[in-house]
Amino acid sequence: MIKIKDLYYTYSDGTQALKDINVTFPKEHIFAIMGLSGSGKTTLLNCIARFLVPQKGEILLNDENIFTMSDISFRAKLGVVFQHLNLFPHLTVLENMTLAPCRIQKRSKKEVKKSSFEMLDRLGILDLAGNYPAQISGGQAQRVAIARGLMLKPEVMLLDEPTSALDSETTSEFSKWLRELRDDTSFVIVTHDLPFAEKTAHKGMFMSDGLVRKFGLINDVLKQTEER
């Protein structure tokens, strides 16, 4: 579980991106952080991912301050998939999958390779194992990036605008796929795609001007947002 208490973040140019954020992301859920460009949602994701250090407030993962955790311990519990995916272009899909578990977690190559094949098969992309990122579609690359993150068995996975490169049909398939994975890990999704959030998430919040304006069940949040 992630708890955020009294969080503030101000950029070096004086722009206050986050103001008094107090939220809890529940376990075993898909949670959507929604808002227009400049609302603060990506800044919040970067703080949770420890890429930005807030000037004030706390972020707790299972009641432990994330900024006092070792990097190895933190990265084992929380994964991130960015909008641009960052798959290694010179490695095959399988090699992208096995690199971090072998290098970071020191797991055996045989066990990791077996787990990678099982994950790819479960996601319906086993036939892509030998392909390079340039040889697969945007939707397939999105699945590979998340599958790669899940290989580290994180408790929480952060997704930054996961549907930005997907067409409507692929977005619908992606939503269904994420819902099937929520028993494996909790997802926190940053998105401006409100129909995707409504179809995929259980709870969510809407941000603007660095503040949380609405919080709760996804349908209630979206209804309140439409009424503004």
Mean pLDDT of 109-114: 92
Closest by Cα among 17, 148, 22, 145 to 82: 145
Asked if the structure places residue 126 within a domain, the reply is: no
pLDDT digits (tens, 9 = 90+) for 203-218: 999 999 999 999 999 9
Q: Is residue 100 part of a domain?
A: no
Q: What is the pLDDT of residue 52?
A: 95
**Percent of the chain at pLDDT exceeding 90:** 55
Calpha distance 215→119 (Å, rounded): 33
Q: Which residues contact 32 (CB under 8 A, 6 or more apart)?
A: 189, 191, 197, 200, 201, 203, 204, 205, 218
Query: Does a structural domain hold residue 92?
Result: no
Strands (E), 86-155: none
Pick the more confident residue, 53 or 150. Answer: 53
Counted domains in the chain:
1
Q: What's the whole-number mean pLDDT along residues 151-169? A: 83
Q: Which two tokens stand for residue 156?
A: 């929480």
User: Is there a domain that residue 53 lies in?
Assistant: yes
Residue range 22-38, pLDDT digits in tens: 999 877 689 999 998 88
**Is 64 part of any domain?**
yes
Q: Are strands 156-160 and 186-191 parallel, antiparallel or unpaired?
A: parallel
Confidence class for position 98, pLDDT limits 50, 70, 90: very high
Question: pLDDT-derived band of residue 3, with 50, 70 and 90 as boundaries?
Answer: very high
Q: Could you tell me the residue range of the domain that residue 22 belongs to?
A: 2-87+153-227
CATH of the domain at 159: 3.40.50.300
The answer to whether 163 and 174 are in contact (CB under 8 A) is yes
